[in-house]
Chains A and B, each alone.
Chain A
Amino acid sequence: MKTDDDDFLTGAVPDPDAEPTAAELAHAKAFADLVDKTLVSGRMPPAMSTDDRALLEVATVIRATHGGLPLAPSKQHSVVEEALRLAIGGGNAATSLAGAPVIPIKRRWLPWAVASTTSLVAAAAIVLLVIRKPPVQVQPNVPTASIPLEWKSRPTDALIGRISSECSGPAIECAKQATVSTSARIDTIFSDRLAGYRDRRFGGKR
């Protein structure tokens, strides 16, 4: 069966400056609609002429090369995976493991090598700990650093001596005297211990 397309394609080539005929315009419009529908839907019509199909495929390719065609999500994912695999030194690009992180072989054996080495050292330490006998050693009696008496915290009896509480006056006077004598005692204790403390902290080595 002969169509208009056949005439259009097999007829004489018109002059470049010649005005388009009504048939040519109608055909161009119909084909433009067909291209639009195909690009929007992503599918070609089930029935069409071979020439139109060839032209439509060319139009699709031209559109794709200009970057206007988005890739399907699955295709995008696989392209990204392949690019990443190549970037980190992966092997065969054809083997796609979507979603799984790819670790280079060099990085995979490093922690195991470190762990194995330290484990060996640890095992050696454990063995040493188990089989080692405590060394038989005769310790000489090493005296600890002797502490001067005046550095030590100690009873104050030798410093204060016997406490006299003789008082023959009224109780309030005795209490007053006791306050004075007790205050004098704590002064004596404080002064003595302060001297010892200063000597220990700031004095010469013994």
Chain B
Amino acid sequence: MKKPSLLLAVAALAIGMSCSSSVEQPTQTGTPTPSVTKTPDADDVIDEQLMIALGQAKNFHYKAKVYMTDGKVTEAIAAVRQILSLRFPANAPEADDVRNDARALLGRLLLSQNQLDEAMRVVEEGLAAVTRESFFVANLYTVKGEIHYARASAAGSGDAKSIEDKRAAIEALDKSIKINEALQKQLERP
């Protein structure tokens, strides 16, 4: 019985190869022919995963807002931090925007608690991961400038570190202004 089984297996394989080769015929240029009935790519459209992640981010922001009405900054910080752990669809532009916005808020909350180093770390991490410029990135630079200014104020005027931080603050704020202006121009184009 082994030989007929082997023959059947070879036959099935050959038929399968023949059929699969006819599914997508390459053109002369070697690129697959796009199907007329092609549906939108899953990466392009707003899907359930994106909506779930946005909904979660909305809830965490709301929690932080409620905590802040009672002056519970630590709890608000914890709520905002959770936004950074949300799973968005890969390459969703909304994910970058929401995360950068959360980092900017987190930086300001930490700044209010005088946790300047941690605030700077959160902001720098966000800027290091930037793939495109946006109003949210500009806002991150603004927060960076605010943190530098807070450091300069803490160091005292005339101190070398204070001077350095003030210069860095101006630099960060200039960067923010540049990004905002460039984006504003882009949006105003017909």
Contacts and interface: CB of A to CB of B under 8 A. Distances in A.
A59 interface: no
A156 B105 contact: no
Interface in B133-174: 134-136, 138-139, 142-143, 146, 150
Contact of B183 (A118, A136, A157, A185): A157
Contact of A182 (B18, B34, B101): B101
A72 B23 CA distance: 68
- The main secondary structure of chain A at its interface with chain B is helix
Given A114-B4, A180-B65, A189-B98, A153 B112 contact: no
Contact of A136 (B7, B28, B51): B28
B116 to A, nearest CB: 11
Contacts of B36: 142
A78 interface: no
A115 B37 CA distance: 39
Contacts of B71: 172
A147 B44 contact: yes
B57 A134 contact: no
Given A153-B89, A193-B94, A126 B64 contact: no
A32 interface: no
A183 B63 CA distance: 9
A129 B76 contact: no
B51 A156 contact: no
Interface in B1-48: 1, 3-5, 7-8, 10-15, 17-18, 21, 25-28, 33-34, 36-40, 43-48
A197 to B, nearest CB: 4
A102 interface: no
B93 A154 contact: yes
Contact of A163 (B68, B138, B146): B138
B15 A135 contact: no
Contacts of B28: 136
A182 B55 CA distance: 14
A197 B45 CA distance: 8
Contact of B38 (A135, A145, A179, A194): A145
B170 to A, nearest CB: 16
Given A115-B8, A126-B14, A183-B64, A175 B104 contact: no
Contacts of B12: 118, 122
Nearest to B44: A152
A119 B13 CA distance: 11
A86 interface: no
Given A153-B89, A156-B94, A183-B64, A112 B4 contact: yes
A165 B97 contact: no
B71 to A, nearest CB: 8
Contacts of B111: 171, 175
Interface string A170-198: 01101110111011011101100110110
B34 A142 contact: yes
A176 B68 contact: yes
Interface in B65-88: 65, 68-69, 71, 73, 76
| 6 closest Cβ pairs, A-B complex | A122-B11, A115-B4, A175-B112, A122-B14, A118-B11, A115-B7
16 contacts: A115-B3, A118-B8, A122-B15, A137-B25, A155-B97, A155-B132, A156-B97, A157-B187, A160-B97, A163-B138, A175-B108, A179-B65, A179-B105, A182-B61, A183-B65, A197-B50
Interface of A: 111-112, 114-116, 118-119, 121-123, 125-126, 128-129, 134-137, 139, 142, 144-145, 147, 151-158, 160-163, 165, 171-172, 174-176, 178-180, 182-183, 185-187, 189-190, 193-194, 196-197, 200
